[in-house]
Amino acid sequence: MERNVFFISDRTGITAEMLGQSLLSQFEDNVRFNQKTLPFIDTPEKAHDAVARINAAAENADNRPLIFETVVRPEIRAIIAESKGIIMDFFHTFIGPLETELGAHSSFSVGKAHSTRNIHAYDTRIAAVNFALNNDDGASTRQYQDADIILVGVSRCGKTPTSLYMAMQFGIRAANYPFTEDDMERLQMPAAVKQFKKKVYGLTIDPMRLHQIRTERRANSRYASLPQCMFEVREVESLYRREQIPFLNTTSRSIEELAATIMAETGLERHIF
Amino acid sequence: MERNVFFISDRTGITAEMLGQSLLSQFEDNVRFNQKTLPFIDTPEKAHDAVARINAAAENADNRPLIFETVVRPEIRAIIAESKGIIMDFFHTFIGPLETELGAHSSFSVGKAHSTRNIHAYDTRIAAVNFALNNDDGASTRQYQDADIILVGVSRCGKTPTSLYMAMQFGIRAANYPFTEDDMERLQMPAAVKQFKKKVYGLTIDPMRLHQIRTERRANSRYASLPQCMFEVREVESLYRREQIPFLNTTSRSIEELAATIMAETGLERHIF
């Protein structure tokens, strides 16, 4: 069974995609979804174009397209409502109950959520991304006193994407430090890291998965070999236990899950919303 | 007026936060929101703990906490429903209508949306992040044939965070190339970039804002001076027009907006959902 799906927004569409994905994933054993995002539908003209696309999809299928929408402007919403799709309205479904509960009218101003209206939040976020880049992969340890967290682990266990995601989504200043092959005999925490031990958080990974990832990068190397991966993971996990460093296995977790788990377990509060 | 807000999920809570933020932003002229995310509420015990926190907040305030939830598991949802908060249920509100429309039962399996079940999607995403890092700031131009897009612009106009966001959210391989001060006299597209002109996308920025950002980084330098910022922006925009390179002003756009706008304008399709 197939079904056309449209994510429609008068902004980026990213929220509609995320919630829509979460809903669709409950049905994907039975249905194949053809997905299309129509972002920035912020004028009546663009809304009519969107309706034309939805209706064209409807005519070429034997069922109605699903529409997941986060359209703020009432006039745009009214146009989309005339399409032949079935609408899941992620925004207006909740605005009424919220107005009642808060005893206030919504401002129906678009683009507040991600706008740079709050320049301070924007700067915090960019500074966090730059911090992650400057303190990636042990490139520098001089700024560790400014870090919110220092992720450690073997090469290719997920430190860099997790650091970047924490910076981008939460404004967290995340440094990361790799344990290299050379560190492995009698593994110790380097002094530069150890002095900030309270901020240190370990990542680990299934050695088979590590072997697979490293093989993509450098096939048939000692670095990628399964015995080496097993050795490094064993040494690093032993260090975590010995030094009582909290740690997390990245193997079957998405970047979002890693970032959110680390936030929850360390009690770190996001710097931006 | 103040109001306590809880974002509750049996997964990361990021979707609940994003949609909740978008709704709250409509009321924030009138209400001050105290926000708390409770992620990974995936056992009855954790759900009861969450209810205790919500009820404690309710008792210390003269109004009900707002609860924005994306809880998939019915048994967890039932426990949260007993709290003293008012619930905006982002997930189950739409599951019923979707089941009816699709003629299928939802699987109520948690963690599908961001799970690494689809290892290929995960690898695509990590590869895109690595690509962005390896091709950041003109560090290398050798992989430009593999790029989906090459962002160009002056130093500090937003290339790096936009590249990283496109990689993280959409799996897009985005390189970026900076026009440096040295390039500015008789500005030309470097040969390494020009041969992939169809993939080139320009960023620009308000010179005053650029001056402000560069001053944060290197105060009182020629690099940060307003005349230099004005000069560089003028030269670069003139290049974009001369070479007919599409371009976007980053000044009042969030990273999400930049990324989604570039996707929409270039017609790039996301590699991951």
- Tell me which chain B residues have a C-beta less than 8 angstroms from the C-beta of A155: none
Q: Are residues B260 and A35, on separate chains, in Cβ contact within 8 Å?
A: no
B78-103 confidence digits (pLDDT tens)? 999 999 999 999 999 999 999 999 99
Residue of A nearest to B11 (CA): A257
Cα–Cα distance, B28 to B22 (Å, whole number): 10
Contact check, Cβ <8 Å, A91/B273 = no
Query: Taking Cα atoms as reference points, which of A154, A201, A144, A202 lies closest to residue A180?
Result: A154
Reported ipTM: 0.91
Question: Is residue A19 within 8 Å of residue A80, measured between CB atoms?
Answer: no
In chain A, which residues have their Cβ closer than 8 Å to the Cβ of B93?
93
Distance from CA of B17 to the nearest CA of A (A): 8
Contact between A15 and B22 using a beta-carbon 8 Å cutoff = yes
Q: In what helix (H) or strand (E) does residue B55 lie, and over which residues does it extend?
A: helix B44-59
From the candidates A254, A255, A263, A266, which should be mutated to test the interface with B, based on the most B CB atoms within 10 A?
A254
pTM given for the model? 0.92
pLDDT value of position A113: 52
- Average pLDDT, stretch A142-163? 96
- How do residues B107-122 score in pLDDT, each as one tens digit? 887 655 555 456 788 8
- E runs forming strands in chain B: 2-9, 32-38, 66-70, 86-89, 149-154, 174-179, 200-204, 247-249
Is the model's pLDDT at A208 over the cut of 80?
A: yes
Return the amino acid letter for B96.
Answer: G
The pLDDT of residue A117 is 52
Please return the burial class of A103, using the count of CB atoms within 10 Å of its CB with bins 0-12, 13-18 and 19+.
exposed
CA pseudo-torsion sign A138, A143, A144, A149: negative
Token look-up 């708390």 returns B36
Nearest to A23 among B64, B91, B111 (CB): B91
